[in-house]
Chain A
Amino acid sequence: MSDRLAVRKTYKLYVNGAFPRSESGRTYEVADARGAFLANAAWASRKDARDAVVAARAAFGRWSRATAYNRGQVLYRVAEVMEGRHAQFCEEVAAGEGLSSGRARAVVDAAIDRWVWYAGWTDKLAAVLGSANPVAGPFFDFSLPEPTGVVAVLAPQRSSLLGLVSVLAPVLAGGNTAVVVTSHRRPLPAVTLGEVLATSDVPGGVVNLLTGDAGEIGPWLAEHDDVDAVDLTGAPADRALELERLAAGSIKRVLRPPAEEPDWTADPGTSRMTRFLETKTVWHPKGV
C-alpha cells in the first residue's frame, strides 16, 4: 500500500435528498465492534426529525403516484448502485458488526438482493392484494392497496445494513416515504446507503436517514401528527410501550417490535409491505 494519507468521509444525515449536519451541531463517536474509533456521526435531533417528516410528506405525492413499474425500476437501480459500492459496504459492515470479510460479503449480497426482491414486488401488489368484489347489486366494486403515507422506521440496532434494507425497502415498495432512525451504534452503512440513494433515482425526501438515538427521536416521531405509521422494530425494548402509546394519539399504524431481532436472511414474505398499505375500495354503478 502507498503511504498516502486517506481522505476520510464525513458521515452526515440524509434528509430531503441532501446531506446536512444535525441542526443541533451534535455528533457522536462511532466505534467498531472492538471499540476502536471509526468516525463521528451526526446525532440527529428532534428538529432534524421534524424536517425529515416535512421532506417525507412533500415527497409522498410524487412517489406514491409514480407508476409501480417506475418504482420497481428505481428500487432496482438502488441495487445496481449498491453493487458498485460493494467493497465499501463490506468494510463498514465488517467493522461495525464485527464480521469476517466473508460473512460481511454475504450480508451485503443479501442486502442488495433484498432490493431486487422488493423491486419486483411493486407491480405485483395490486394484483396479489387487490380484489374485484362481487357485490349483490349493479355496481363495479374493486379494492386496491395504497400506501399508508409517511412511515417512521426505527431500524434494527444489530443488523445495520441487511436489517435496515429489510425494513426500508418494503415501506418504499408500497409507495410510502420514510423517516428512518438508523442503528445507533452502527450507523455508517446507513449513511453510505444514503449516498447510494442520492445517486440512484430515488427522489429526494422519499427516504430520510437519521443517525442517532431511536430512544431520543422515536417519541417525537411516534407522536408526530403528520406521521402515518411507525415501525418499532429497532425501538429500545424499554421504550416500545411508550412509543406505541404515543402513536395511538393519531391512530398510527404500528408495527410492534419483535421479541428479539429476527434472522434477516429469512424469506421476508409480504407482511412488512401489507403492514404499511391501506385498502381503498371504489364503487361505481353499472348502467347504460
Chain B
Amino acid sequence: MTHVLDPGTLAAGTRPGPGPAAPFDDVTRSDAALRAFLHGLPGVDQVGAEQRAATLGTRSIKTTAKAWAIDTAIAMVDLTTLEGADTPGRVRSLAAKARRPDPDDPSCPAVAAVCVYGDLAGVAREALAGTGIHVAAVATAFPSGRASRAVKLADVRDAVGNGADEIDMVIDRGAFLSGRYLEVFEEIVAVKEACGDAHLKVILETGELVTYDNARRASWLAMLAGADFIKTSTGKISPAATLPVCLVMLEAVRDFRAATGTQVGVKPAGGIRTTKDAVKHLVLVNETVGADWLSPDWFRLGASSLLNDLLQQRQKLRTGHYSGPDHVSVD
C-alpha cells in the first residue's frame, strides 16, 4: 500500500475493518493520527524499568508460594516446538507430555497449549483431542513475517483449518520501525478476521523493536487492532522475553483495560528456561497487574526447556531432595 502522509486523505471513510474500542475509536483514522497517539503514550525510562524488574526479581518465593507458582507456571506453558526438523512424531510426543507433564504424578497440571508450525496443527489437534489443551500455531510467515499480505492470511487460514485454535502472528517489524503504523494495524486487523474464532496472539518481536518505548507502542497498536494476547518474541531473536519488556507489556494491558474495559493477555516467550525465571514472571504479573491475570487465560509462558525445570523443581518440593534430568522425560 502507499504510505499516506496526508492525514486528511485517509480520514474520510477509509477506516479498515472493525475499529478499536472507545475511547480510541478515532486514533486509527489516519497514519498521522495513529502516530500521534502512539507517540503520545508516556515514555519508558529504560533504567527505571529495568530497576523495577530487577527489584521484583529479588522476591523470595518459598514453600507453599513456590508450589503454587510452579503449578501455575506449568499450567501457563505454551509447550513449543518450532524447528525445521519437526515431524508428526515429535509433535505427538510433545502432545503426550503436554497432557501428562509428569507421568509419575497425576496431580501435575497439564500445560495450556502446544505451539507448532501451522502444517502440524492437525497432528497436534488430533493428539490433544478432548484434553482442553489448546493448539497454537505460528503463522504469517513466522518468524520473519516477510511475505505478502495474501500469503500471510493464507498461512493463518491454513493453520486454523488444520485445527489451531490459537494463532501466534508476527507483526511487520520493518513497517513498524519505519513508522508505517497504520499498515501494521491493518494487517493485524486482517489477520484477526482470518482467525475467525481462533484466539490471536500478536508477537511484537521486542528484540527487534529494541526500545521499551517501541515495545509499549507496539503493545498498544496490537491491542487497538484486536489482539487477544500480546507476545514478546518469536524465540528466534535474542534478546527474547526479558523481565523489563514483560513489565512494560503488562503495564500496557493494565492501562488498556483501565481505558477500554477490554482485558488482553500477555505471553513472554523465548529465554525463559528456569523455574526461577518463571516465578519471577509470575511475581511481575502479581505486582503489576494483579490476580486478574494470574491464569492461563491471561498469561502464558512460551517455552520448551522450561517445563522440565519446573517438573524437577516440583519433584524436589514433593520429595524434599533434588531431582535430575533423567527423572523427567526428554522432549
Contacts and interface: CB of A to CB of B under 8 A. Distances in A.
Chains A and B touch (C-beta atoms under 8 A apart): yes
Given A285-B47, A287-B47, 14 more contacts: A137-B47, A138-B46, A138-B47, A139-B47, A285-B45, A285-B46, A285-B48, A286-B47, A287-B45, A287-B46, A287-B50, A288-B46, A288-B210, A288-B211
- Place the interface of chain B in its size category: under 10
Contacts of A288: 46, 210-211
Contacts of A287: 45-47, 50
A137 to B, nearest CB: 8
A151 to B, nearest CB: 38
A288 B215 CA distance: 12
Interface of B: 45-48, 50, 210-211
User: Which A-B residue pairs are the 8 nearest by beta carbons?
Assistant: A287-B46, A285-B47, A287-B47, A138-B47, A288-B211, A285-B45, A288-B46, A287-B45
A288 B301 CA distance: 27
A197 to B, nearest CB: 47
Nearest to A288: B211
Contacts of A286: 47
Contacts of A285: 45-48
Contacts of B45: 285, 287
Interface string A271-288: 000000000000001111
Contacts of B211: 288
Nearest to A139: B47
B292 to A, nearest CB: 30
A155 B59 CA distance: 61
Contacts of A139: 47
Nearest to A286: B47
7 contacts: A285-B45, A285-B46, A287-B45, A287-B47, A287-B50, A288-B46, A288-B210
User: Max chain A CB contacts within 10 Å: which of B45, B47, B48, B211?
Assistant: B47
A135 to B, nearest CB: 12
A137 B48 CA distance: 12
A288 B211 CA distance: 6
Nearest to A285: B47
Contacts of A137: 47
A287 B48 CA distance: 9
Contacts of B210: 288
B80 to A, nearest CB: 29
A217 to B, nearest CB: 51
A286 B210 CA distance: 15
B183 to A, nearest CB: 24
Nearest to A284: B47
Nearest to B210: A288
Interface string A108-139: 00000000000000000000000000000111
Nearest to B49: A287
